[in-house]
Chains A and B, each alone.
Chain A
Amino acid sequence: MADKLIVKELDQVAVRFSGDSGDGMQLAGNIFSTVSATVGNGISTFPDYPADIRAPQGSLTGVSGFQVNIGSGKVYTPGDKCDVLVAMNAAALKTQYKYAKPDATIIIDTDAFRESDLQKAAFKTDDPIAEMGIDKDRVIACPITQMVKDCLADTGMDAKSVVKCRNMFALGLVCWLFSRDIEIAFNFLREKFAKKPGVAEANIKVIQAGYDYGHNTHSQAMNVYRVETKEKVPGRYMDITGNKATAYGLIAAAEKAGLRLFLGSYPITPATDILHELSKHKSLGVITVQCEDELAGCSSALGASFAGALGVTSTSGPGICLKSEAMNLAVILELPLVVIDVQRGGPATGLPTKSEQTDLLQVLFGRNGETPMPVVAATSPTDCFDAAYSACKIALEHMTPVVLLTDAFVANGSAAFKLPKLEEYPAINPPYVPESMKGTWTPYMRDEKTGARYWAVPGREGFQHILGGLEKDDKTGAISTNPENHDLMCRKRQAKVDNIEVPDVEVLGDKDDAELLIVGFGGTYGHLHAAMDDLRAEGKKVALAHFKFINPLPKNTSAVLKKYKKVVVAEQNLGQFAGFLRMKVDGFVPYQYNEVKGQPFVESELVSAFKKIIEG
């Protein structure tokens, strides 16, 4: 039977684990990505979960998916479609098969394909495989539930706990398909369940059983995949999600600046994991306050900054609506504040678990008055670390609120993260008022170079002052309604933000002779980069300018945008960044690629759209 085995060597392979929300698909996916990353594969993951926490078991609305893309080199996206689909029940097969490639291997748990399961998944016949037009030879149909029960029969575990281990059987099977070293998975579980060794050992037993099942019966499988590691960047790595990287970036910046980190927040999907992560790290002195509402989240963070901490608030678009008044207050108080917007589908409650870039203009302009605000947009899960660090540095050194834009895609996605060395990151030096100014200092005196006002933290004798939301006199800091003074203060606040130094935008690919320049910002970097690579592999001349610093824009923006004959701005909204660039760059008229589906871009769709522009 072994002679039927086909070993496929691939540069990239995507595996999608799918099942009920409670089936532990994310854990299985995470372990698989860790196991792959440990051997040096590039990884990128993306959880696609429903808004309902636990929809009825086996129902179509309750299916959650977790896609892992592993590659021999750097992996930029979780992959458009998967090579292996694990469907833990009938509903998962029904809803997730559309994400599988035509020749994908499908793994199903036949015990979750009984008549009632098929009914819940709205299958019309008793043969779902045929009904969906799937080639039977590509299906590994395995009675996973029963085998897990048999495997754990003598452990004395209750039935419910036993069934919870089904995900590990699927994981074991997938590890066999990819010839992965399951010892790495065992170690992972032993650490994860260090306090419950019984649970760890049960899971390990089931992984082994899944692996052995694959090994013993591989006649059923069409493909065994091998993904070798080609480019290795030596170093020490960990797996990190965007939200965790954001939290780490904040911690790193606070430590570098020698300040206490204070997070005021209110739970909201998909930003809550930042609150969860920071709440763990009290041994680093991090204070988190779960506030009564979004308004208090931002307000308390600003109050903490006033007291001399690094005040941060985290939310998603609907929360920004509520925080905007305190963000505005921060503009006129000229205090540091970092506001994190993990964008999701809108408007209103919209698509809470899905990803969009539709808050860009909101964070740039969604406030009353002239309220310039720096905006930094993270480009990938691991870049969330650097972006958060940059946002803190700007906020602290320029005495301004800063928005850090991420999105559900980068926030929940994960990638291998090379452990950063804090000593290699730039210093953060807030403009504390020098002691020599005692007696002559007033609250709106500014550092000449940056235009930032000096920071006098309560507790320092001789620097008592009152800040407030009413316009202040430039010289005395007293309330002023003088028209000339207001005009001056608006200009000074604007100039302070405009003059922030940000790195030039880098042009990747065929930077000298591209027929098409792709322009994007934030979380679409991976997809746009992959699309560029595909086009270049076909011989097209293509370049990519991907923006992380949105406000102020890099100084070379205009030169870059005007250098190429054709420019396309691709974004997950109806043209907000293109509009902003048109406002900032005279005469700039780009092509646009816009999508507001709540799903990541699809690489192949980008490629065909860009090809049309090149050829058109």
Chain B
Amino acid sequence: MSEYTSNDYKKGQPRWCPGCGDHFFLASLHKAMAEIGVAPHETAVISGIGCSSRLPHYMATYGMNTIHGRAAAIATGTKVANPKLTVWQVSGDGDGLAIGGNHFIHANRRNIDLNMILLNNRIYGLTKGQYSPTSPRGFVSKSSPYGTVEDPFRPAELCFGARGHFFARAVATDSAGTVEILKAAKQHKGASVCEILQNCVIFNNGTHDSVYTSEGRKKNAIYVRHGQPLVFGENNEYGLVQEGFGLKVVKIGENGVTINDILVHDAHCEDNTLQLKLALMEGPDFPIALGVIRDVEAPTYDEAVWGQLEEVSGQKKYHTFSELLETNDIWEVK
């Protein structure tokens, strides 16, 4: 049982627009942290720039609201320098995937033990309404009055392409779902990407409408859980089966399909093929996958760095500066 409550992680009065998904997420993060139970002074929350990157200011932990795009790089230094800290890195879709895309992929590739939050509202809010790298093709915004002519990133695809070992998704308004994946992300050793689908009431209202209410999620989302059959629908009457190279939605009880035919979710499977297929599902033909989609153990960078320090330290005979000097070719002038 944790000795902390949400209040121990709360600070200040958030200044986001009323109704912004960031409010919902912040409350879930406070709750998740309390349940996880890592002390506020052993927690660091590091963000970049953007609406969502204001988040550290509302935390009673250590934190930094840094520069645009560099949150993952700065968090890398913090975690590697002091692996005892629990480090949360918070970015929006612009901060994390546009200006900070390089750091996003490399933090995943290196598998640094960071909890990487991607608050995805598919828009640039702080600069007042330009399309983002997750906006769909044809998206009309202030900087794309005739619609965008480019395809978006799909965060899971980018994470998996960078050899990411953890990917989970939740909807900002779904507190239980969000808390669950945040706890799983903390539990996971290595880089854990949590994509939070959230609404921007001002510049991109309704972008995640199909799953933003619990009714919507019943119809249009599937909660995936490791070891459980992939079923969804108001009465769990639908399920996913593998067909050819892809997935297919079937109705249980129809055409001889039984619960035993339904795919069982394996978040721990090292091969990410089916996990990616789950992550990329979208309406109207498929439900949107929520929950922990991939969670595979792998060596982490920070542990490996410290392991190497220890290993080499045991092998080498010099451990101070003056001993280091003596490893050189030295001559004496008398």
Contact surface of A with B, Cβ cutoff 8 Å: 34, 37-38, 40, 187-188, 191, 232-240, 248, 251-252, 255, 260, 262, 264, 281-285, 287, 289, 291-293, 295-296, 299-309, 311, 325-326, 328-329, 333, 419-422, 458-470, 478-479
Contact = CB atoms under 8 A, between A and B. Distances in A.
B330 A303 contact: no
Contacts of A234: 332-334
A240 B329 CA distance: 10
A423 to B, nearest CB: 9
Nearest to A308: B82
A305 B316 CA distance: 27
A120 to B, nearest CB: 37
A287 B41 contact: no
Contacts of B66: 299, 329, 468-469
A219 to B, nearest CB: 33
A458 B65 contact: no
Contacts of A283: 309, 312-313, 315-319
A462 B41 contact: yes
Interface string B54-84: 0011011111111101100111111111101
Contact of B59 (A235, A239, A466): A466
B322 to A, nearest CB: 6
Nearest to A249: B321
B102 interface: yes
Contact of A459 (B11, B69, B85, B320): B85
A289 B332 contact: no
B82 A232 contact: no
B77 A458 contact: no
A430 B212 CA distance: 50
Nearest to B86: A458
Contacts of A262: 77, 80-81
Nearest to A467: B64
A326 B77 CA distance: 13
Nearest to B40: A464
B332 A295 contact: no
28 contacts: A40-B333, A188-B329, A233-B333, A234-B334, A237-B332, A238-B325, A248-B321, A248-B324, A248-B325, A262-B80, A262-B81, A282-B311, A283-B318, A287-B80, A287-B81, A295-B69, A296-B70, A299-B73, A300-B77, A304-B77, A307-B85, A329-B66, A458-B41, A458-B85, A465-B63, A466-B65, A470-B65, A479-B57
Interface in B149-185: none
Of the listed residues A236, A239, A301, A462, the one surrounded by the most CB atoms of chain B closer than 10 A to its CB is: A236
B298 interface: no
Given A284-B318, A300-B76, A458-B85, A464 B64 contact: no
B63 to A, nearest CB: 4
Contact of A251 (B39, B82, B321): B321
A245 to B, nearest CB: 12
Of the listed residues A282, A303, A307, A329, the one surrounded by the most CB atoms of chain B closer than 10 A to its CB is: A303
Interface of B: 11-12, 39-42, 44, 46, 49, 56-57, 59-67, 69-70, 73-82, 84-85, 102-103, 105-106, 305, 308-309, 311-313, 315-322, 324-325, 328-334
A262 to B, nearest CB: 5
A311 B102 CA distance: 21
Nearest to A235: B333
B63 A467 contact: yes
Contacts of B322: 421-422
Given A303-B74, A458-B44, A285 B313 contact: yes
B76 A466 contact: no
A464 B59 CA distance: 9
Contacts of A479: 57
Given A234-B333, A333-B64, 9 more contacts: A232-B333, A252-B321, A287-B305, A289-B305, A299-B77, A300-B77, A307-B82, A459-B84, A466-B64
Given A236-B330, A309-B81, A303 B318 contact: no
B102 to A, nearest CB: 5
A465 B333 contact: no
B319 A419 contact: no
Contact of A302 (B40, B62, B74): B74
B78 A307 contact: yes
Contacts of B331: 34, 37-38, 236-238
Of the listed residues A236, A262, A311, A458, the one surrounded by the most CB atoms of chain B closer than 10 A to its CB is: A458
A71 to B, nearest CB: 14
A251 B327 CA distance: 14
Contacts of B75: 303
A468 B57 CA distance: 9
A358 B68 CA distance: 28
A233 B333 CA distance: 7
B76 A296 contact: yes
Of the listed residues B78, B106, B330, B334, the one surrounded by the most CB atoms of chain A closer than 10 A to its CB is: B78
